[in-house]
Amino acid sequence: MAKFSHSKLNLFFLLLLISLLTTAAAPAGRRHPLDPLSSDEIELIRSLVINSIRNLSTTDVTFQYVALTDPNKQYVLSWLSNPKTSPPPRRATAIVRYNSSTHEILIDLDKKAIISNRVYSGPAYSMFTLSELLDAVALPQSHPPFVAAMNKRRLKVKDVICACYSVGWFGEKMKQRRMVKLQCYYSNGSVNLYMRPVEGVTVTVDLDQMKIIGFRDRYEAPVPKADGTEYRPSMLKPPFLPPLNGVKMVQPEGPSFKVNDHTISWSNWELHVGFDKRAGPIISLASIYDLEKQKRRQVMYKGFISELFVPYMDLTEEWYYRTFFDVGEYGLGQYAASLEPLRDCPENAVFMDTYIAAGDGRPMKMANTFCIFERHAGDIMWRHTERAIPNRIIKETRAEVSLVVRMVATVANYDYVLDWEFKQSGSIIATVGLTGLLGVKASKYTHRDQIEEEVYGTLIAENTIGVNHDHFFTYYLDLDVDGGTNSFVKSNLRTVRPPNPDNPRKSYWTVVSETAKTEADARIKFGRQEAELVVVNPNRRTRMGNPVGYRLIPKSTVGPLLSVDDYPQIRAAFTNYNVWVTPYNISEKWASGLYTDQSRGNDTLATWTLRNREIENKDIVMWYTLGVHHAPCQEDFPLMPTLTTGFELRPTNFFESNPVLKVTPPRPLNRSICPL
């Protein structure tokens, strides 16, 4: 044990005390500029807004969307390079509804003051709040025509539960009311209410006045029976599959990553995990340490799901408008599930809470919003067995261990498992898992052979049609590959005939690279030709002369099947291409526009790119849409096993050579050999 003199000990404890006091007394302004809003900040925003509005009760004010305003990117990067300097001004945006008007209010959190209050006069509306949707679904219970319709169907009104659906836009010239349509379900006998729709009844609610403005009982269909819809293990009857032996992910020394507020450091990665009521998880400032260059290098400034478009294919009166924008209308962050240890996340996971502003503006805690864990699933990072050397066999292999940041959003019937995974090789993998409950329609049919007309889906159980639909996830990917000025390169793979006709081979393929000059050049619709898509930094080259880059490897090449003149597709024209590239613009964040409810498609990613701006050697953003065409099947009933898709951002000539050649495997623990 080292020996210290009294003077050295006193100096040591003095320095320690100063360090602790400095850390503890750090002013609020020293927060990371990309940290999500805290509970205190949300309360401050509410107070400032309420105090600025005169002659109104607080119940007449609805906080539709409250979020951190994106700080100036260059200020953030400058602060990051020298954290001792003052961080960028911390500001927030509140979209607030009162006096039947939508107000965009900008707040300076440092000065505790409102900077501006602008009235939005466009045709669309901001996202719904949980509280107003809960108020709306309670209205039918006391509406006499609704009660009569349920009694006619011999349903107990108290067991009928309704859900709010956005109404969309279908060419109306005049601005519509801010409203939703209610479709209802029967919970008697089963908690799986979405499998028991009450078909033919539609209730329309004005959200500003919070009253029913329309009711229609068009027809009756048998409510699907409760039998067979249960999914809770405690309520299911034998037989069961045999249980598996226990599986543990053990880290007796604790996780290898460190969490400092919202900044995570792990192995060669450092990144920031943010949160937004609309987008859900936001990954920022992802950088990787280059062992050979002995420095940290930028990869991604910001990545998140900008929109999730879910159109259903049923054309009937009760269904045609069900073309949902789950980010812009409902909010993935607002519907974040509280993750359960050992069920949603492995036992080595660390959890993170967040806050959102509720409809009344007060902070609402979202417990266990994120889980962060190391994944060690027996995958192989790299390996080789060499037998060609005489009298020697060389075997080398490395286990794959990665870092995962997970959130689950439950938007009505669907559950979306959203993962961001970071590999030591430099890859970033974004994964979406779709599970939960189908959107189904009650039907008179009990067997497929009875069906003679278009039913827009599959008969998955008696009286139950699983309706065809799509899921399109549009990701915002602001890659800053080794710096802020990048280009987008399409490396087309082309089949070529040999120049020498006597060559025994008749064809080969080669790579023809093309750098996109403008936004129009960069649009990609998968399936037309084979190509590798790389964001490169033309100002940084390897020793071999290749520009450093990151490649998009899609797992989904699905595109929309709706006609371009269909109103939902006009609103979702950002899905017309799988890949877009735009110059960075702080105001271009939401692919469906800032206001999505009842939007008309005039403020979207597709309209921004009509300017055809230059994108070569610029600060650029790549937008990638992955899609799933879902034609339901019986295995999706009564609850859908997880269907997974996603994409990979993979280093391409970013490193001089294999960056994980010198990876240090996890320290071995005592292990038991499994008996055969």
Q: Cα–Cα distance between 399 and 377 in angstroms, integer? A: 9
Model pLDDT, residue 247: 84
Model pLDDT, residue 667: 80
Say if residue 11's pLDDT is above 70. Answer: no
Q: Cα–Cα distance between 9 and 28 in angstroms, integer? A: 32
Residue 361: C-alpha distances to residues 95, 104, 389 (Å): 10, 14, 71
Say if residue 17's pLDDT is above 90. Answer: no
Residue 468: C-alpha distances to residues 110, 293, 561 (Å): 49, 51, 12
- Is residue 414 annotated as a catalytic residue, yes or no? yes
Q: Which residue has the tokens 């054309």?
A: 315
Say if residue 654's pLDDT is above 60. Answer: yes
When pLDDT is averaged across residues 447-465 and rounded to a whole number, the result is: 98
Model pLDDT, residue 28: 41
Distance of CA 299 to the CA centre of its chain: 19
pLDDT tens, 558-603?
Answer: 999 999 999 999 999 999 999 999 999 999 999 999 999 999 999 9
When computed from its CA atoms, the radius of gyration of the chain, rounded to whole angstroms, is: 28
User: Is domain 130-231 given the CATH code 2.40.50.140 in the classification?
Assistant: no
pLDDT tens, 83-102?
Answer: 888 999 999 999 999 999 99
Q: Cα–Cα distance between 524 and 519 in angstroms, integer? A: 10
Query: What are the tokens at 393?
Result: 């066999």
Q: Which residue has the tokens 């995958």?
A: 379
pLDDT tens, 175-185?
Answer: 999 999 999 99
Q: 306 near 339, Cβ under 8 Å?
A: no
pLDDT tens, 509-549?
Answer: 999 999 999 999 999 999 877 789 999 999 999 999 999 99
Q: Which residue has the higher pLDDT, 15 or 86?
A: 86
Say if residue 346's pLDDT is above 80. Answer: yes
Query: What are the tokens at 517?
Result: 């000059």
Work out the end-to-end distance of the chain between its first and last CA atoms, rounded to an integer number of angstroms: 49
Question: In the chain, which residues fall in CATH 3.10.450.40?
Answer: 39-120, 130-231
Q: Cα–Cα distance between 520 and 490 in angstroms, integer? A: 13
Model pLDDT, residue 670: 67
Which segments of 542-603 are extended strands (E)? 547-554, 579-583
- Per annotation, catalytic residue among 414, 476, 550, 595: 414
DSSP string, 282-293: EEEEEEEEETTT
Distance of CA 306 to the CA centre of its chain: 7
Model pLDDT, residue 673: 52
According to DSSP, the residues that pair with 495 across neighbouring strands are: 509
Q: What is the DSSP letter of 628?
A: E
Count of Cβ atoms closer than 10 Å to residue 669 Cβ: 9
When pLDDT is averaged across residues 165-174 and rounded to a whole number, the result is: 96
**Cis? peptide before 638, omega within 30° of 0:** yes
Q: Helices marked H in 408-544 — which ranges?
A: 519-522
Q: Cα–Cα distance between 32 and 83 in angstroms, integer? A: 9
| H or E element, residue 75 | helix 73-81
**Cis? peptide before 239, omega within 30° of 0:** yes
Q: Cα–Cα distance between 571 and 325 in angstroms, integer? A: 10
Q: Cα–Cα distance between 15 and 17 in angstroms, integer? A: 5
| Mean model confidence pLDDT for the chain | 93
Stated pTM of the model: 0.94
Residue 125: C-alpha distances to residues 128, 214, 228, 358, 511 (Å): 9, 20, 40, 17, 47
User: Nearest Cα to 624, choosing from 536, 484, 525?
Assistant: 525
Q: Cα–Cα distance between 399 and 666 in angstroms, integer? A: 8
Q: Which of 78-82, 320-324, 539-543, 626-630 has the lowest mean pLDDT?
A: 78-82
Q: Cα–Cα distance between 593 and 587 in angstroms, integer? A: 10
When pLDDT is averaged across residues 192-221 and rounded to a whole number, the result is: 98
Query: What are the tokens at 376?
Result: 């060690």
Say if residue 7's pLDDT is above 60. Answer: no
| H or E element, residue 489 | strand 487-496
Query: What are the tokens at 487?
Result: 């280009």
Model pLDDT, residue 23: 33
Say if residue 623's pLDDT is above 80. Answer: yes
User: Nearest Cα to 347, choosing from 451, 461, 449, 252?
Assistant: 252
Query: Which residues lie closer than 8 Å to 173 by C-beta, 6 or more apart?
Result: none
Query: What are the tokens at 131?
Result: 């509280």
Residue 27 pLDDT class (50, 70, 90 cuts): very low
Q: 532 near 493, Cβ under 8 Å?
A: yes
User: Nearest Cα to 491, choosing from 531, 545, 551, 549?
Assistant: 531
Choose the CATH number for 39-120 among 3.40.50.150, 3.40.50.720, 3.90.1310.10, 3.10.450.40.
Answer: 3.10.450.40
Residue 283 pLDDT class (50, 70, 90 cuts): very high
Question: In the chain, which residues fall in CATH 2.70.98.20?
Answer: 257-377+398-652
Write b or e for each residue in 477-511: b if 16 or more Cβ atoms lie within 10 A of its Cβ, otherwise e.
bbbbbbebbbbbbbeeeeeeeeeeeeeeeeeeeee
By percentage, how much of the chain surpasses pLDDT 70? 95
User: Is domain 257-377+398-652 given the CATH code 3.40.50.300 in the classification?
Assistant: no
Q: 279 near 304, Cβ under 8 Å?
A: yes
User: Nearest Cα to 112, choosing from 47, 27, 38, 31?
Assistant: 47
- Is residue 159 annotated as a catalytic residue, yes or no? no
Q: Which residue has the tokens 């979702």?
A: 572
Residue 477: C-alpha distances to residues 63, 322, 419 (Å): 28, 28, 15
pLDDT tens, 140-156?
Answer: 999 999 999 999 999 99
User: Nearest Cα to 109, choosing from 80, 64, 69?
Assistant: 69
Model pLDDT, residue 18: 33
Query: Which residues lie closer than 8 Å to 297 by C-beta, 6 or more apart?
Result: 287, 288, 289, 290, 482, 654
Model pLDDT, residue 666: 85
- Per annotation, catalytic residue among 276, 314, 326, 597: 326
Pairing of strands 363-375, 531-541: unpaired
Q: Cα–Cα distance between 37 and 45 in angstroms, integer? A: 10
Q: Determine the residue type at 288.
A: I
pLDDT tens, 225-280?
Answer: 999 999 999 999 999 999 999 888 888 889 999 999 999 999 999 999 999 999 99
Say if residue 440's pLDDT is above 80. Answer: yes
